[in-house]
Amino acid sequence: MRIRSSKSNGAASKLVAMAKKGSSRATIFFIFVSFILFCAFLPVFAPLPSFHSPHRSHRNTVNRKFEIASDRFWRDGEPFQIIGGDLHYFRVHPEYWEDRLLKAKALGLNTIQTYVPWNLHEPAPEKFVFEGFANIEAFLKLCHKLGLLVMIRPGPYICAEWDWGGFPGWFHSINPTPKPRSSDPTYLQLVERWWGNLLPKFVPLLYDNGGPIIMVQIENEFGSYGDDKAYLHHLVILARDHLGHDVILYTTDGGVRENLEKGSIRGDAVFSAVDFSTGDDPWPIFNLQKEFNAPGKSPPLSAEFYTGWLTHWGEKIATTGADFTAAALEKILQKNGSAVLYMAHGGTNFGFYNGANTGVDEADYKPDLTSYDYDAPIRESGDVDNSKFNAIRRVIARYSSVPLPSVPSNNEKARYGPIHLQRKAFLLDTFDFTNSTNVFESETPMPMEYVGQLFGFVLYITEYRAKRGGRILFIPKLHDRAQVFISCPSEDGARPTYVGTIERWLNNKLNLPDVKCHSNINLFILVENMGRVNYGAYIFDRKGILSSVYLDGEKAKGWKMFPIPLHNLNEMSTYNPITQASYSAFSEIKSSRKKLTYKHENTSKEPAFYSGHFSIDKSSQVMDTFISFSNWGKGIVFVNDFNIGRYWPSRGPQCNLYVPAPILKQGDNFLVILELESPDPELVVHTVSEPDFTCGSNGMSLHQL
């Protein structure tokens, strides 16, 4: 994209000047710090190190250097082969970071690559979070402690099968909406603010400053999306301004000429890495990579070597052969190529943060599973006793410069027996429709983001006149899935009647039945955001009802929108009437229908909260487990107020949700389920010791991007 005004050019020049000025100050400061450290750690009468050789033959705690020369990586003057793996701190419980990193090291990895999701760290404008799952500094310091180098991918776009590729959903509440991944000035201002808070945290952790970070990525696979060099150059200027001119910046693009032309920055300012399908002949692609790097500055690097693949709801679980994967890796390593396994350990899409993809058009929507196991060598629960881990480890052992550590054991799993649940409240009973202060009103439906609800659910309500023969409901643009209910207010004590479900990928119309009612009929539409699209042309993915709603071809007007505040990953559980209802006895729910009974109460199609508990007698018995949702419909589950994620066994393939031991505790543990469709008639779930990806229909197909 062309820069359309001299103002933009002026801003860029100013940033260049700032970068040079910042770099000068940083250089003086680092020389001073280096001298102090040198004096502090140099033993008395120790010989001074040689500074004459461009590639020193020994490492020095003061003069650390990671660089590219002669088409090789060099670490402190010695040739270095990156054998790395992606492991995302935000997909692993912080108490398990060390466990997973030690297993990655036992696999033979010397480097960890991780994305940084903007939406996790800035969940609301200018509200920055760097604690809990978002404590990236603690994660990086732990990598350093364990002797692992780091390649960091701060985006601002990350893809990662993560909601909207890491962009914050509150972008959609800004008018006009910033255009991500472009030179849009509003977007760039937000990036500058974000990176201004993030990148300074990396400075003391850069390799040359004594930390683990050897490379920092600019954007992510931009060549598969756009062709805006001004945008990429702006990111480079920002990164240099904060990080200095010594750290290696890199781009990653698919290993075809078109992608590299659009996504790379020629010359030696930014290193261009590639990725490609596992099993492709790597060396012709590495030769192509050389064309986009300066002479002598193109060490062959597959920045995403795929050990598995992602899976969407409704597909068979994606798998790749262990020996096939290991053999493909060896083709890279045996000729001194470098590779980063994507993924070394996948982890879990806790909360509402899973992403989604699209197929032929925007309506061909494919949300990702809660599990991000990815068929990686280190499984979702950290297990390493599997053929893929062993096969890859055998290959890496042949090329590692140091002996591999022993392999840790799998974490123990426990079964805590069946958990019997009670229905605590129907979801619709938790709203006060007459006196609510948390309601938004407009003539036409508003997107979720406009009512301050970025994840989960929004309830849309209007009313219509009864019509003989019923009516036809049509929502041209729905993101992503809606359950529809009707009720007659004049029929005292009547519960809402489930009419049907509308899904984005089917774009189906719904017949509203003929109801005899002496007043207007209430229409309830409960809309679920199932994850924003994270890749491709359709990533501009607002949620909720995005069009007019039609009844028999006429627009329905006069809408009320009720946000449903269910907490997400890394959010503290706070009091609100929705979640509080799940812990309260049915008689305590303040509703006009609070004392009603429902004769089919265990098979109701109406969304409801269910809760139960299980006890763990000893602290030594607190272990990982899985919760099986066989015979349940679709919903969200919380364990001890932690949002484990979505379940949908009827669609499959995921049957069980992983529960890490750090979420559990000795004594009583509480389970709360928001079941949207059809609870198990027995109202019971089972804790089991293994994952299960065999649910859903047998007619599912495997999709790959």
Active site residue 304: yes
Say which of 122, 219, 221, 675 is annotated catalytic. 221
Residues 6+ apart with CB under 8 A from 624: 381, 382, 411, 412, 413, 414, 658, 659, 660, 661
Residue 512 and residue 465 in contact, taking contact as beta carbons nearer than 8 Å = no
Show the 3-state SS of 135-179: CHHHHHHHHHHCCCEEEEECCCCCCCCEHHHHCCHHHHHCCCCCC
Q: At what angle do helices 136-145 and 97-107 cross, to 10 degrees?
A: 40
SS3 assignment, position 532: coil
554 backbone dihedrals φ, ψ, rounded to 5°: -105, 145
Q: Given strand 510-512, what is the order of strands in its sheet? A: 510-512, 471-474, 550-551, 554-555
Say which of 67, 122, 219, 304 is annotated catalytic. 304
Cis, bond preceding 445 (omega within 30 deg of 0):
no
Residue 659 and residue 627 in contact, taking contact as beta carbons nearer than 8 Å = yes
Q: What share of the chain is helix, strand, coil (3-state, %, to 5)?
A: 25, 25, 50
Work out the number of other CB atoms within 10 angstroms of the CB of residue 285. Answer: 18
SS3 assignment, position 646: strand
Q: How far apart are the first and last CA of the chain?
A: 26
Closest CA to 680 of 577, 579, 610: 610
Q: Tell me how far apart the alpha carbons of residues 638 and 630 are, in angstroms, rounded to a whole number.
A: 17
Q: Tell me how far apart the alpha carbons of residues 333 and 330 are, in angstroms, rounded to a whole number.
A: 5
**Dihedral angle of Cα 538, 367, 251, 155, to the nearest 10 degrees:** 90
Active site residue 221: yes
Catalytic residue positions? 221, 304
